[in-house]
Each structure stands twice: as structure tokens, then as C-alpha cells.
Amino acid sequence: MVKYFLCLICITLIISARSPGQGGLNYQSTMISNPSVTGSAGNGILRLSYLNLYPGNSYNLHSVSLSYDSYFPSLHGGAGFYISDEYLGGIINNLAGGISYSYFLQASEKLYVSAGLSASFYHRGYDFSNAVLPDQIDPLLGAVLQSGETLSVRGKTVFDLATGIMFMSGKFFGGFSVKHLAEPDPSGTDYTRGNLQRMLVVHGAGDFSISRERNIRILPLASIETGKGIFSAAAGASLESKYLSVNAIILTDNGGNLDLQTGFSISSGNFMVFYSYRFNVVSGENLLPFSLQHHTGIALGLNNVDKRKTVKTINFPKL
């Protein structure tokens, strides 16, 4: 059993090394962080993305996600769904999915409010077929021996809730949300603290025109994410034209880490492709590698909603 615990400790370290508090706000997947933004872009948008964590270090940490949301007049708001899969080191696989709904309300002449709720599932599975235990290692030949112990950890599925509110007025919009309201434990074991901690996310952005003739605008943004023992903040801007946008964002956390993320997107009609790269500038405990993540994906507009029937639509930063 000692080897079993050692393996679980290694898994815990892998998850912790991903620095969940340093996520920042990504407006291509913000429906997962704040359900109140569901459908607020108006048109129905299908988003697919791929994330590679700590590239170049052979950690084998990957994540893929798919989401769709749109405004529906019959619902007086937006509805959507998402599904994501995290593949961590060949040992842990986190499969998650959920549905979101947001209700749109015009509170005054210039103030619009949306309130959202999401319900989701979270399944964590384990695969120890490629794990190497201490008694498998030969001092001369390496990991060639047959282990005397079999690791068997069953996967576990839990359910979760999130809620949020967003405000829109003039050139500004922002809101807050609470994730993991149920604080479920998908670890499947009593030997690790595997609960998904309740997190508060606060975000805001603006939309300012620089040149109406050339359709150039700048969208500043900022976000804060905090929970038990976790705090992170991000701020940046996206400079956008009709077909091309470039962006940059600075991120920091309570671990003393400072990161920089830059990226671009190319749009044509209802199709957009985006890419961003994040690297570490300052590592608080000299634990983080220079290259933190590659993030790429596409967004497809599947249906055009008559914006005259919507309460308020938003041009989100292409981050």
C-alpha cells in the first residue's frame, strides 16, 4: 500500500503543478466560468479548442473542449452546452460536461442584466497501466521487472453547479460567478484532498472604437479568481479589426508567479481561428518552466440571430 500512496502523491503533484489559480479569463470558454454570459454574443457559436500544458517538457498534459451557445427568443435568454476532456500524464483523465442557461433582463434604459445557472458532471478516471512502481526498477536495466502490487482505483463521477450574474451598460460589461457550488470530490479516495474548491470569478471588459472607417477597436479586460488558498489576477487588451486581432495579457497569483500571454485570431465571415502562447516571466519558487501553454482553436457561427430581438449582445475579446 505504500507504493499505492506514493503513486497518488505523484498524481496530486501533477495536478497541483497546473496552477489552477493562474488560469485567467478566456472569452472563448467563458461560459464554463460564468454561465450568465451564455448566449450574450447573440449568434449561435460552436467553439472547439486544444490546450497543451508545459509543452516541450514531456509531461503529456493536454486538454480539449467543445461548446455551443446561442440566444433563444422563446427562452428570453441564452442556452448552451459544453464538454471537455483533460489528459494528465497518461494516468488521470478528467471528463466534464454541462448545460447552461441565462435569463436576459433590461433593468433600465442603459443597464442590462443577465443571470445564469449551469449544471455539470465531472468524471475522473485512472489508468495505471503505464505507471512505474519502485519494485519494477532494476538498478542496471531500468523498469523491466514485474511489479508485486496491482494498482486499482475506480473512476468516480460527481455533479456540480455554478451560477453567475453579468451587467452591461454602454461600452462596458462585467460580472461575477461562483464555480463548484457543491464542492464535489471526484478523487474517489479518502487519502487525498481532491475536492473541487468553490471559486469566485470577477471579470470586466470594455469595447472602444479607434477607427470606425477601418473597424478598429480596442477591448481592455481584467479578471480576478479567488478561492481557499488561491488568488490570481489578469489584465490585458485585445486590438481588433474586421479580419485580424492581436492581444496580450499579464497574469499573476499568490504564489509569486508572473506570466505573459500573447496571441492572435483571424476571422472571415462566421469562421474564426485563434492561437495564444503563455510563458512564465517570474516563477515564485522557481518551479515553473518558461513555456507554460499553447492554446488554439476555432469558432464557427452556425446561426444568425436577429439582434433586434435580443436584450443586449456583446462583442467579446477574441482571447
- The reply to whether 290 falls in a domain is yes
- The reply to whether 178 falls in a domain is yes
15-19, 33-37, 281-285 — which one is most confidently predicted on average? 33-37
Grid cell of 141 as nine digits: 536495466
Handedness of CA 43, 23, 48, 65 (dihedral sign): negative
Grid cell of 227 as nine digits: 478561492
pTM: 0.82
CA dihedral 283, 287, 289, 293 (to 10 degrees): -80
Grid cell of 8 as nine digits: 497518488
Please report the pLDDT score of residue 215 as a whole number.
86
Please report the pLDDT score of residue 142 as a whole number.
54
Sequence-distant (6+) residues with CB within 8 A of 52 are 61, 62, 293, 294, 295
- The reply to whether 248 falls in a domain is yes
Query: Is residue 4 pLDDT above 50, yes or no?
Result: no
Please report the pLDDT score of residue 21 as a whole number.
38
CATH of the domain at 193: 2.40.160.40
Reduce the DSSP state of residue 180 to 3 states and report it.
coil
pLDDT (average), residues 107-127: 91
Please report the pLDDT score of residue 150 as a whole number.
53
pLDDT (average), residues 256-273: 93
What residues make up the domain containing 16? Answer: 2-270+280-309
Residue range 42-58, pLDDT digits in tens: 788 999 999 999 888 77
Please report the pLDDT score of residue 311 as a whole number.
60
- The reply to whether 319 falls in a domain is no
Please report the pLDDT score of residue 57 as a whole number.
78
Residue 168 contacts residue 314 (beta carbons within 8 Å): yes
- The reply to whether 314 falls in a domain is no
- The reply to whether 146 falls in a domain is yes
Residue 305 contacts residue 44 (beta carbons within 8 Å): yes
- The reply to whether 299 falls in a domain is yes
pLDDT band per the 50, 70, 90 thresholds, residue 287: confident
- The reply to whether 316 falls in a domain is no
Reduce the DSSP state of residue 107 to 3 states and report it.
coil
Residue scoring higher pLDDT (314 or 82)? 82
d(CA 286, CA 257): 9
Query: Is residue 158 pLDDT above 60, yes or no?
Result: yes
Please report the pLDDT score of residue 3 as a whole number.
44
Q: How many domains does the chain have?
A: 1
Closest Cα to residue 64, out of 80, 87, 45, 32? 87
Query: Is residue 16 pLDDT above 50, yes or no?
Result: no
Query: Is residue 258 pLDDT above 80, yes or no?
Result: yes
